[in-house]
């Protein structure tokens, strides 16, 4: 029998650092259960560096109607790796090694053709969960209080999976299905857990549910309208500091760093000593987002606001930090990126 396929949906990752916003460094790994479903029910996954197309087998008489094999609610889970070596330098949200991002279309507004898989405009630390793929997970001592675990999607109480052994609470993952769970202590949410049957290091997990009863993904007659699921990351913003040789600047007046529309975005500069050399340090008035390619750069000008002297350009376009640049954090938690210029 000849099968025909149509695009059911697309999953796209975007990052504001990149000029075209495409996060071209993704590796897609379907879960074992998703692989079995794809093999048995006529699904094909076509991964790209920044997106994943999901194709479904369709009725021979209706290109936009699912085949009989797929006429039940189903869900798909994908594990994702970010193969971007400088992720922490460019991304607004730092990802601890023991956590990963979790994205799902459940409980999201799915009425539009493009659905964000996170609650806010950009991904935040609220989208982080702790993956657990070991059989035993120690929660705490008996003195620390009662624990409860609830399935994050259907809200089912799964506290039967928590056992007390000696003086420890233990989460035994055997009775639990793969998926997202909320772990509470009394009324307090302790953490979100993703219980995985699949070992390995992953940066993100995407869980997509397709149903004619919720989420506006499948119609009552098993047809569908193309829907793009989207994840959007913000770019890191740091205070920028330019350092220029003092001896080249000391005779100039009205020195300012301005942006493309002539707004002053840095302070007026101060003399500092760097490794026994006098420098002029200019610090941005607020954090500046890092970008792969900026439409308008920063310019160093002289005689700004100086009476009887015409303005002039000292440096027409100041260099900008590369994504390979490290930044430092001061005692108040402010992030600084430093750029040294030799004239």
pLDDT tens for 150-175 read: 998 888 999 999 998 888 999 887 88
Residue carrying structure tokens 């259960």: 33
User: Do 29 and 302 meet the contact criterion of CB atoms below 8 Å apart?
Assistant: no
User: Do 285 and 233 meet the contact criterion of CB atoms below 8 Å apart?
Assistant: no
Judge whether residue 113 has pLDDT over 90: no
Which residues neighbour 64 within 8 Å (Cβ) at sequence distance 6 or greater? 6, 58, 223, 224
Judge whether residue 242 has pLDDT over 60: yes
Which residues neighbour 170 within 8 Å (Cβ) at sequence distance 6 or greater? 136, 137, 138, 139, 162, 163, 164
Question: Which residue would you say has higher pLDDT here, 311 or 154?
Answer: 311
pLDDT in tens, 200-226: 889 999 999 998 887 678 988 899 988
Judge whether residue 194 has pLDDT over 60: yes
Average pLDDT over residues 23-42: 94
Beta-strand runs (E) in 158-298: 162-165, 168-172, 179-185, 188-195, 204-210, 227-233, 237-245, 256-258, 270-274, 277-283, 288-289
pLDDT in tens, 64-95: 889 888 899 999 999 999 999 999 999 999 88
Residue carrying structure tokens 């307090």: 188
Distance between CA atoms of residues 128 and 43, nearest Å: 29
Give the confidence band of 3 by pLDDT, cuts at 50, 70, 90.
low
Give the confidence band of 47 by pLDDT, cuts at 50, 70, 90.
very high
Judge whether residue 1 has pLDDT over 60: no
Question: Which residue would you say has higher pLDDT here, 137 or 300?
Answer: 300
Judge whether residue 315 has pLDDT over 60: yes
For residue 242, the tally of other CB atoms under 10 A from its CB is 22
Q: What is the pLDDT of residue 178?
A: 86
Q: What is the pLDDT of residue 2?
A: 58
The pLDDT > 70 percentage for the chain reads 99
Distance between CA atoms of residues 277 and 252, nearest Å: 19
Judge whether residue 5 has pLDDT over 60: yes
Tokens of 69: 């094999």
Question: Which residue would you say has higher pLDDT here, 315 or 153?
Answer: 315
Tokens of 36: 């079995």
Judge whether residue 249 has pLDDT over 60: yes
User: Do 325 and 336 meet the contact criterion of CB atoms below 8 Å apart?
Assistant: no
The pLDDT > 90 percentage for the chain reads 58
Average pLDDT, the chain: 90
Distance between CA atoms of residues 214 and 322, nearest Å: 45
Q: What is the pLDDT of residue 215?
A: 67
User: Do 43 and 52 meet the contact criterion of CB atoms below 8 Å apart?
Assistant: no
């Amino acid at each position: 029998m000849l099968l025909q396929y149509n695009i059911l949906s697309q999953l796209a990752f975007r990052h504001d650092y990149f000029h075209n916003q495409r996060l071209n460094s993704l590796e897609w790994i379907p879960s074992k259960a998703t692989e079995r479903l794809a093999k048995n029910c006529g699904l094909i996954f076509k991964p790209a560096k920044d997106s994943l197309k999901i194709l479904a087998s369709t009725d021979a008489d209706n290109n936009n109607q699912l085949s009989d094999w797929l006429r039940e609610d189903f869900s798909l889970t994908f594990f994702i790796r970010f193969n971007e070596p400088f992720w922490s330098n460019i991304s607004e949200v730092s990802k601890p090694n023991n956590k990963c991002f979790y994205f799902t279309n459940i409980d999201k507004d799915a009425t539009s053709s493009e659905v964000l898989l996170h609650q806010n405009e950009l991904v935040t630390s609220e989208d982080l969960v702790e993956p657990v793929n070991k059989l035993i997970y120690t929660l705490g001592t008996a003195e620390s209080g009662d624990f409860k675990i609830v399935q994050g999607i259907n809200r089912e109480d799964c506290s039967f999976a928590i056992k007390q052994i000696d003086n420890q609470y233990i989460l035994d993952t055997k009775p639990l299905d793969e998926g997202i769970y909320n772990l509470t202590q009394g009324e307090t949410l302790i953490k979100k857990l993703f219980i995985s049957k699949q070992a390995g290091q992953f940066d993100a997990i995407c869980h997509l549910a397709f149903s004619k009863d919720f989420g506006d993904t499948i119609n009552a007659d098993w047809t569908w309208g193309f829907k793009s699921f989207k994840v959007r990351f913000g770019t890191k913003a740091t205070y920028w500091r330019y350092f220029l040789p003092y001896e080249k600047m000391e005779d100039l007046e009205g020195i300012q760093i301005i942006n493309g529309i002539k707004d002053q975005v840095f302070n007026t500069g101060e003399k500092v000593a760097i490794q026994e050399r006098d420098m002029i340090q200019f610090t941005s008035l607020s954090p500046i987002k890092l970008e792969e390619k900026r439409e308008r750069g920063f310019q160093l000008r002289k005689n700004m606001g100086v009476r009887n002297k015409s303005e002039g350009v000292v440096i027409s376009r100041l260099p900008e930090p590369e994504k390979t640049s490290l930044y430092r954090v001061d005692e108040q938690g402010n992030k600084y990126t430093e750029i040294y210029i030799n004239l």
